[in-house]
Chain A
Amino acid sequence: MAANELPSSRAVAPETVRRRIRIAAVLALTLSLILIWRFYSLQVLQYERYQTLSLDNHIRMQAVPPVRGLILDRNGVVLAQNTAVHILQVVPEKVHDIEVMLQAVDELVGLSTAEVEAFRSRLKKHPAFEKVLLKARLDDVQTATFAVNEYRLPGVTLEAVLHRDYPQGSLVSHVLGYVGRISESEEAMIDPSAYQGVRSIGKIGIEKQYEDLLLGRPGFAQVEIDAHGRTLRTISRNSAIPGNTLNLTLDADLQRIAREALGNRRGAVVAIAPSNGEVLTMVSSPSFDPNLFVDGIDQQTYDALRGLEDRPLVNRALYGRYAPGSTIKPVIAQAILDAGISPQESVYCPGWYTLPDSTRRYRCWKKTGHGPVNLHGAVEQSCDVYFYEMGRRLGIEAMAEVLTRFGLGTVTGVDLPDEPDGLVPTPQWKRATRNESWYPGEDLITVIGQGFLMVTPMQLARMTATLANRGIPVQPRILLSKEESLSGETLSSNVSSQPAKPVVEASLDRVIQSMTAVMHSPRGTARASGRRSPYQIAGKTGTAQVIGIAQDEEYDESVIPEKFHDHALFIAFAPVDKPQIAIAVVVENGGSGAKAAAPIARKVMDRFFQKKLQRAAVVRKRHVFG
């Protein structure tokens, strides 16, 4: 059968098959064109898209965070630095099961509920291929424990990062402030490109004030990775630029002396160099450890710190507002002189004062009275009655005017964030805020630095420096110089070279003489603190009432709770003829300014001049042997 059919098929077939071959050829050609079109579409029309995808695949930009600038005191003592610590980071897309991973990490190094919660909230905000912080600051044991188990936890990496560290702890915390993790509200405000790879930001103090100087500029490393996410090599690197090193005007040693002198009392000490406004010491007590804030303080500790009655977080030197008490008397005395009242004019002090047409008695601090006192004696012995009389004559407007000229009630412009202004009251102010008229009695309260008058220790220090400068005001400043990290160039912070105009026209010598008498005359209120001083001091004590004392009552420390005791204040500068330091001390509820505040100032000044002498001795020696 097969043999029969063969010839016929041979005879019929050729044309049919040839036609089909032609059809098939056309079909194959068409399919080839479809393929070519497909490749044209991929390689030409969509080239850009796929090229980007390809680069994304294997080239990653890794931000190299800059090293934050150091902060040093005026002598080079390190106040803020960066140390390496270990942290745990997670790349979510590489983790098979987040829950299982969290449990495993918890078993190895322990995770607090707060850490897990923070991790989960970060997890939601970041793409799965980005590193998310799981645990900050592992101790040595945790680091070692995790390191040997790291291979079991793909996607979790142990990394060494630089971490802000404050070696002086609580000593300068109020001035320095601290850095903390960038919050959501801060994230909205910062330039993301400037903060690539940066985890923390200055929250308060100098760290906040000079954030832009300290930050530096992030660098970038372009790295090639393979399909498994392993980094193969660095293609290019754009180094990060470290932040500026900041030298502060503070003297850590002086700071320590002031801290120790304050002890465990609440209060503030501010010392500035009158000639240029450099803040030598700025202490607020009690204090806190800024290192607690660097990794994000936990709510419990923070609440505890905030809840404390002593309020250790508040920088009293800048934000504390106090009635200045008698410390303003030298300034008032100058106003008296300016008003043309003779310094020889005496006022008889029986221990109290009454306004004409009134029976209300305004007490002098000395119950038995000072007898007849002139201006010099009134400052020296802080006679309230003399000043009541002069306050009545001057009137509030003139007093407010001179106090404001000496910088009370206005910001000092010190380079710290959010400085408050305090208050020098005027009748206009009282009308505007309280809708009450000004009473003549309020002149008397104001003249002894009580009542509505509210100043900060920083303002008092500036006022003292202005007195020391014989009326030439200075602007306090904390930044001494900045050193550029790359060039090593040191730039002093800009101080206006032009001397400011004096705030008063007449000579302040007479007032300063009286202030010197406060320290060195046998009747001076702070004579105990001026005794055996190798240098001349001009000072003024102050005691500010915290509660009102009724007409028929006595102020008796022994029966009043401590928190209602008077605030003790003291201002001073030295040496009198060529002042190098001006200081303001406030001791909350310290009682008498002479007893509680003046000794602190003396200790700080002693240390200050002792160091000056030592340095001079070293220089002399060098001069001799060099």
Chain B
Amino acid sequence: MFSGRSLHLDGPLLIALVFLSALGLVVIFSASGENWDVMLRQGVRLGVSLVAMLILAQVPPETLRRLSPHLFVIGLVALLGVLVIGVAAKGAQRWLDLGVVRFQPSELMKLAVPMAVAWLLTRGRLPPSFTMVMAALMVTLIPAGLVVIQPDLGTAIMLIVSGMIVVFLAGIRWHHIMMLLAALAASAPFLWSRLDGYQQQRILTLFDPFADPLGSGYQTIQAQIAIGSAGIWGKGWLEGSQSHLEFIPERSTDFIFAVFAEEFGLIGVLMLVLLYVFIVGRCLVMAYHTRDTYSRLLIGALALTFFFYLFVNLGMVSGILPIVGVPLPLISYGGTSMLTLMAGFGMIMGMHARRRLMT
């Protein structure tokens, strides 16, 4: 009765996403110490997220574009609200209690920032002028700054990256890129000094985790031991000694990939990475095929941000990037991140399905 097309969905992408999320449930069951409650709760979140995806797929691209600035302003207000009346959890103030649901404005911004930047840049001529680049930078840095104060460095970095990806896709001139990088390099010492001690430590740990094996290096070392000891074939599902004996901290959230890699080995890692690459690749193809620039920028940015999440998480778990609190997309335990991502994929599918209507 409802074909994928009439629901504005994309078959291959949907199958890959559902497969990945289902795999996530399997890993969470193991990582939670075989806790059915935890897995079921994540399953419910997955269901809710798929519904959100389905709904957002029905929104026409033109509507998304028109809503972009409004969504951005709402998000900005909500971020300010968090700082004033937010709810604290784990030492950071990230939540806004709306009575019925608790809501994390920074997650909304993960969609709102690229949308707003894409909206902004498509209002001018492409490739964007220097003024436009500066304006896009503002649109990115202001919410990122508010998120840093919470403090949530990981999300802030992701916001900046998603905004910058849009600017990059929009065709920013190479010498502008150089200027931005130079500015970043020049401000690096200042940024370093603004980091908290533990954040600096995490970056230093990257170079020599064994310098403080029981302190700041502990997480990195234990995750690497989990991954390395798995070998090619892994220790088998539910058989990971590192995770089941609680050697891996945050093992159902940020470090869940260590659990996965320990139990499924290099073969599992290759398959999972391929699955992610397929999802990103499929989205990039879809971006390639859309006709309007806004859709193309947004799809490309969302897909590449998704990839960036993956890269940062795997890089952190395997010890080539410092530890920043970035979950493994669609697999880590936690509802908000999954909802945002699935909503994003809904938008992607919707924009792609209606690509002809825009011309």
Residues on A lying within 8 angstroms of B by beta carbon are 2, 5-6, 8-10, 12-14, 16-21, 24-25, 28-29, 31-32, 34-36, 38-40, 42-44, 46-47, 49-51, 53-55, 57-58, 224-228, 232
- Interface residue? B318 (CB, 8 A): yes
Contacts of B165 in A (CB 8 A): 24
Q: Give the segment of B37-45, B88-96, B261-269 that binds chain A.
A: B261-269
On whether the beta carbons of B224 and A36 are closer than 8 Å, the reply is: no
Q: Are B122 and A9 in contact (CB under 8 A)?
A: yes
- Do A32 and B284 touch across chains, with their CB atoms under 8 A apart? no
Measured in the bound complex, the distance between the Cα atoms of B245 and A55 in whole Å is 12
CB–CB B171/A38 < 8 A = no
Task: Give min CB distance, B158 to chain A, whole Å.
Answer: 15
Cα–Cα distance between A53 and B311 once the two chains are bound (Å): 26
Chain B interface mostly = helix
The CA of A43 and the CA of B277, in the complex, are separated in Å by 20
Contact of B293 among A14, A39, A54, A225 (CB under 8 A): A14
Which of A38, A47, A226 is B231 in contact with, Cβ under 8 Å? A47
Contacts of A232 in B (CB 8 A): 245
Q: Give Cα A35–Cα B125 distance, bound, in whole angstroms.
A: 37
Q: Known interface pairs A43-B230, A226-B246. Does A20 touch B265 (Cβ–Cβ under 8 Å)?
A: no
Complex Cα spacing A49 to B230, Å: 11
- Knowing A10-B293, A35-B273, A57-B241, the reply to whether A16 touches B231 (Cβ < 8 A) is no
Interface residues of B in 186-216 (CB under 8 A from A): none
Question: In the assembled complex, which residues on chain A have CB atoms less than 8 Å from the CB atom of B222?
Answer: 57, 227
Residues of A within 8 A of B292 (CB): 10
Q: Identify whether the interface residues of A are mostly helix, strand, loop, or mixed.
A: helix
Asked if A50 and B171 sit within 8 Å, CB to CB, the answer is no
Interface stretch, picked from B46-54, B107-115, B134-142, B296-304, is: B296-304
Contact of A17 among B227, B242, B281, B297 (CB under 8 A): B297
Shortest 7 CB-CB distances between A and B: which pairs? A50-B228, A54-B229, A16-B171, A13-B293, A226-B245, A42-B228, A43-B266
- Which B residues are CB-close (under 8 A) to A20? 168-171, 300
Question: What A residues does B232 contact at CB under 8 A?
Answer: 43-44, 47
Docked pose: A35 CA to B314 CA in angstroms: 7
Q: In the complex, what residue of chain B is closest to A28 when comparing beta carbons?
A: B307
Query: Contact residues of B with A, CB < 8 Å?
Result: 122-127, 165, 168-171, 222, 224-232, 241-242, 245-247, 261, 265-266, 269-270, 273, 276-277, 280-281, 284, 287-288, 291-293, 296-297, 300, 304, 307, 311, 314-315, 318-320
Given the known interface contacts A43-B232, A47-B228, the answer about A9 and B318 at a Cβ–Cβ threshold of 8 Å is: no
Q: Judge whether B261 and A16 touch: CB under 8 Å.
A: no
Q: How far is A228 from B232 in the complex, measured between Cα atoms in Å?
A: 28
Question: Are A35 and B266 closer than 8 Å at their CB atoms?
Answer: no
B233: shortest Cβ distance to chain A, in Å? 9
Asked if A29 contacts B277 (CB within 8 A), the reply is yes
Q: Report yes or no: A42 in contact with B224, Cβ–Cβ below 8 A.
A: yes
Q: Are A24 and B168 in contact (CB under 8 A)?
A: yes
**Central interface residue in B168, B222, B225, B265, by most chain A CB within 10 Å:** B225
A20 to B242, CA, bound (A): 42
Residue contact B123 to A5, C-beta cutoff 8 Å: yes
* Assembled-state Cα–Cα distance A20/B265 (Å): 35
The answer on a CB contact under 8 Å between B261 and A39 is yes
29 pairs of residues in contact across A and B, judged by CB atoms under 8 Å = A6-B123, A9-B123, A12-B126, A16-B126, A16-B170, A16-B171, A17-B171, A17-B296, A17-B300, A21-B284, A29-B277, A31-B307, A31-B311, A32-B273, A34-B320, A36-B269, A38-B319, A39-B269, A40-B266, A42-B227, A43-B227, A44-B266, A46-B228, A47-B232, A50-B228, A57-B245, A225-B245, A226-B246, A227-B222
**Cβ–Cβ < 8 Å partners of B287 in chain A:** 21
* Contact B227 A39, beta carbon cutoff 8 Å: yes
Contact A32 B300 (CB under 8 A): no
Residues of A contacting B125 in the complex (Cβ-Cβ under 8 angstroms): 5, 8-9, 12
CB-based nearest B residue for A20: B169
Contacts of B307 in A (CB 8 A): 28, 31
Which residues of B sit under 8 angstroms from A14, Cβ to Cβ? Answer: 291, 293, 296
